Structure 1
């Protein structure tokens, strides 16, 4: 399904406005909307997220892939502008107000209150990623093994290479 550029821009503008704590905070809503609109499949959402994490830059560069899938190159640009414009304008405003906010008591209390909310949003993003990408016992087992290895202090690059090799072997066999 091809979407209009305005539709893509407004959709990602909404995501950008709601992205307190980063784009990952509204990943569940992003998946729901993009899949419901038919702009992506579950696999396409997972692949776009993986590509966005792989390339250097902001962790939500996946929106370029999502916009490209929805409306071509113009959609990629509309998605990027919609997603990153609110955060950019907000950062500029915060820089101007930083000194005043750092001294305000309500600001410190608000930051402490937002910690559990951010943790809950991060956990919901983890659940969505698991739903769209772990479709077999092999995948679930591999993710569990990787988590245990990383928790025990294994080298991240070694775990990534091992997971890639294991995935390749499973695909070949």
Structure 2
């Protein structure tokens, strides 16, 4: 199978299991992409951060991951594979919404998916911590930023301060 098709089918599988959004399966995505050697753990974390930074869907990082896997063809293949299932599901859901709203099982399914999505979100957080924090200093800064945001500090100021501290720590290494 060509590299582009492998990238497409890998991201298609990841897109098919993206209940609650692409970030819900971030741990599986990290495991698969790092195991295939398409990205390193640091590249995965950096790609995720860049995907969150740019406007658009929160999983634009897949374009970066596909690019790392096999160039521009991989970037397109990853984007198509990741977003095609969700887009198709949304179209089908819009057309079947009235029927779904009346179905008893629909409400039960939605209620059952809440703890599943919470668990997936928690696992995503743990993977990001594992990939992004490589020192106690980093963990302390994340804790401080969380506390400051909780106390009502300006989020933009905290983000800027975090960027400056990140650059400073990178230059000091």
Does the TM-score normalized on the shorter chain lie above 0.5?
yes
TM-score under structure 1 normalisation?
0.95
Superposed CA offset, 1:81-103 (max 9, x none):
00000101100000000011112
**1:39 aligns to what?**
38
Secondary structure at the residue paired with 1:38?
A: coil
**1:140 aligns to what?**
139
The CA distance in 2 between the partners of 1:49 and 1:167, in whole Å, is 16
Deviates more, 1:23-32 or 1:107-116: 107-116
In structure 1, stretches of 5+ residues that fail to align are none
The runs of at least 4 aligned residues of structure 1 exceeding 6 Å deviation read none
Shift of 1:47: 0.5
CA RMSD of aligned residues (A): 1.1
The CA distance in 1 between the partners of 2:103 and 2:154, in whole Å, is 42
**1:101 aligns to what?**
100
Superposed CA offset, 1:38-60 (max 9, x none):
00001000000000000000000
In structure 2, stretches of 5+ residues that fail to align are none
Secondary structure at the residue paired with 1:130?
A: helix
The CA distance in 1 between the partners of 2:72 and 2:120, in whole Å, is 30
**1:130 aligns to what?**
129
TM-score under structure 2 normalisation?
0.95
**How many matched pairs?**
171
**2:11 aligns to what?**
12
Secondary structure at the residue paired with 1:154?
A: coil
Superposed CA offset, 1:120-158 (max 9, x none):
000000000111110012211111111111122222111
Secondary structure at the residue paired with 2:7?
A: helix
Secondary structure at the residue paired with 1:40?
A: coil
**1:23 aligns to what?**
22
